[in-house]
């Protein structure tokens, strides 16, 4: 079922967010993306009819500016995909207090405030389209933890918990689910040793690519009877 009301994808300027934006527009969805840094793909996305809004969710004022803009411009939404993310580690950061604050701001506080701010818009979208969705992009490490990305893992666990709480609050008007990937795609800077080690962590030992995440998003949007759940995209990593 194609939504007539627009779907917001935060962090839609690159990687999985970008792939989801392109895929949904190709299917006929109206899509709004947020991006923090200007990238070469933004102009091309706008030419495809995607509304692109620059937003920085690492500060409360950035969240305020974004929510105010959407509330002024739109009366209904078909969904929100919370994909905006930070990936800093304790080893790379000298100020661990600031690191934890930033991780929670981006992965927990921003989605929390955005969900609450857009509750009425999502309910209006559900009334027009039959249903509306919130999708939280969490992470495999939300369950297992990470000794190298402690603040990141903790904040993604917080986002995972928000999935359950908002599913309860917004039912039956809005479905709220999460997608928890481990490895979907490598970065160009990843060397061969890292790639071999990363692939060995799952049973399927493959780099499935961005399409695996796109398919999971589409499944949740099409589903009529799933809320408060997490789709794990980890290649059987939990069994290794």
**Catalytic sites, residue numbers:** 152
Spatial strand order in the sheet of 79-82 = 51-54, 31-35, 7-9, 79-82, 132-137, 174-181, 230-233
- Of 15, 98, 36, 32, which Cα lies nearest the Cα of 71? 32
In contact, 163 and 216? CB cutoff 8 Å: no
Look up residue 238 and give its DSSP letter. Answer: G
Structure tokens at 39: 């990238």
How far apart CA 17 and CA 62 sit, in angstroms, is 19
How far apart CA 192 and CA 203 sit, in angstroms, is 19
Q: Which 3 state secondary structure label does DSSP give 100? A: helix
Helix, strand, coil percent content, the chain, rounded in steps of 5: 50, 15, 40
Going by DSSP bridges, is the β-strand pair 79-82/174-181 parallel, antiparallel, or unpaired? unpaired
Structure tokens at 11: 């962090």
**How far, CA to CA in Å, does 154 sit from each of 18, 24, 151?**
25, 30, 5
What is the b/e burial string over 49-63, where b = at least 16 CB atoms within 10 angstroms of the residue's CB?
ebebbebbbbeeebb
């Amino acid at each position: 079922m194609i939504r007539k009301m627009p779907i917001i994808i935060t962090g839609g300027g690159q990687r999985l967010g970008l792939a989801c934006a392109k895929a949904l527009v190709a299917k006929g969805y109206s899509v709004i993306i947020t991006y923090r840094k200007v990238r070469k793909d933004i102009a091309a996305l706008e030419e495809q009819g995607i509304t692109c809004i620059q937003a920085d969710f690492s500060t409360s004022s950035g969240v305020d500016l974004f929510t105010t803009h959407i509330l002024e411009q739109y009366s209904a939404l078909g969904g929100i995909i919370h994909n905006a993310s930070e990936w800093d580690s304790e080893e790379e950061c000298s100020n661990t207090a600031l690191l934890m604050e930033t991780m929670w701001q981006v992965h927990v506080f921003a989605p929390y405030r955005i969900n609450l701010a857009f509750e009425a818009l999502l309910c209006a979208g559900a009334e027009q389209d039959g249903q509306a969705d919130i999708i939280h992009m969490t992470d495999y490490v939300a369950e297992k933890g990470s000794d190298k990305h402690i603040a990141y893992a903790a904040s993604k666990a917080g986002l995972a918990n928000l999935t359950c709480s908002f599913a309860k609050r917004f039912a039956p008007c809005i479905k709220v689910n999460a997608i928890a990937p481990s490895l979907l795609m490598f970065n160009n800077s990843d060397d061969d040793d890292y790639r071999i080690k990363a692939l060995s962590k799952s049973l399927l030992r493959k780099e499935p690519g961005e399409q695996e995440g796109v398919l999971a998003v589409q499944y949740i949007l099409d589903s009529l009877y799933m809320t408060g759940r997490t789709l794990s995209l980890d290649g059987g990593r939990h069994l290794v």
